[in-house]
């Protein structure tokens, strides 16, 4: 899978540090910054036309669930 190769280039510690530095997770209750970053990257690579509805559908797929194993699956 191409997305796994791209995500392996970015250490997850770096994403955690960036989220802490920018304080994007302070008011987030459902989706953390790391999940949103992975979702955006997944949608940019795999979908021609992107929208919030497309991202919601992609979030609920088994493919994204396999990418996002560290976080609990929540509905959005």
- The torsion defined by the Cα of 28, 30, 64 and 44, in degrees rounded to 10, comes to -40
Distance CA 34, CA 49 (A): 22
The model's pTM is 0.78
Distances (CA, A) of 10 to 22, 49, 69: 17, 25, 16
pLDDT at residue 53 in the model: 92
Q: What is the pLDDT of residue 73?
A: 63
pLDDT tens for each residue of 22-65:
998 888 877 888 888 989 998 998 888 889 999 999 888 888 88
């Amino acid at each position: 899978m191409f997305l796994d190769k791209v995500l392996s280039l970015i250490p997850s510690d770096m994403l955690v540090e960036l989220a802490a530095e920018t304080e994007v997770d302070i008011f987030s209750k459902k989706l953390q910054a790391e999940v949103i970053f992975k979702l955006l990257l997944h949608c940019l690579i795999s979908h021609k036309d992107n929208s919030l509805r497309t991202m919601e559908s992609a979030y609920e797929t088994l493919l994204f669930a396999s990418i996002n194993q560290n976080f609990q699956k929540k509905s959005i």
